[in-house]
Amino acid sequence: MSRQFFVGGNFKMNGSVDSIKSIVSNLNGAQLDKNTEVVIAPPALYLLLTREHLGKNIEVAAQNVFDKPNGAFTGEISASQLIESDIKWTLLGHSERRQILCESDSFIASKTKHALEHNLGVILCCGETLEQREANKTTDVVTAQLAAVAQVVKDWSKIVVAYEPIWAIGTGKVATTEQAQEVHEAIRAWIKKTIGDDVAEKTRIIYGGSVSEKNCKDLAKQKDVDGFLVGGASLKPAFVDIINSKI
């Protein structure tokens, strides 16, 4: 079967009212590939602003969500609050939250389960450090991160897996097309073995890590690369070129 191409834009802790409006205006006025699903993730403060001004052909994601419905959890945001605000996706497991905020595999799995139970789509990030890659542990690390989710989640229909080698995030270094395909193929094989053939065939596995308008077309040609999770480039007009990389 053919998996719909998926491009996410993770703004991280970047943007202002004016710059977000400018990015949204540029996307609204652009000719985007109608066969590509597009989701952008602004900082939490700008979620409602983005949703209000963005065309309905593009969805909005939070950069995080908590695993409890409500309560004394200062600074957190709940799945039901996102759904009420017409925010239909969330990022989870990004390496910056794993490394800087020390989020564990089990905590990310719990948040993923809670988000899915509230009908949020989840862009589930996984990836290895340079040290782990050089020790030939890439597949072990990535599948262990996914295995924690598989222990608590059975329905993967609303999960998009984002493979983001940590050594390539914001560094300008990019996995070669062969390296990206190799890991994506390994992830799909693991899903097939662990969860099932149908889920492996349908689950979109996207690549993140210094994706740009210069390398996206070659990466998009790979058999198991079903799209991108874009960081810094999603803040620039060239994001449109990445969205249209399959044309």
Side-chain half-sphere CA neighbours of 50 within 13 A = 28
Other Cβ atoms within 10 Å of 143 Cβ, number: 18
**Number of residues written out for the chain:** 247
- How far, in Å, are 1, 76, 203 from residue 197 at the CA level? 12, 36, 10
Backbone angles phi, psi at 187, to 5 degrees: -65, -45
The continuous run of DSSP H or E covering 126 comes out as: strand 121-126
User: Whole-angstrom Cα distance, residue 76 to residue 135?
Assistant: 36
The tokens of 191 are what?
């899903």
Q: What is the DSSP letter of 124?
A: E
User: Whole-angstrom Cα distance, residue 150 to residue 48?
Assistant: 32
Q: List the catalytic residues.
A: 94, 164
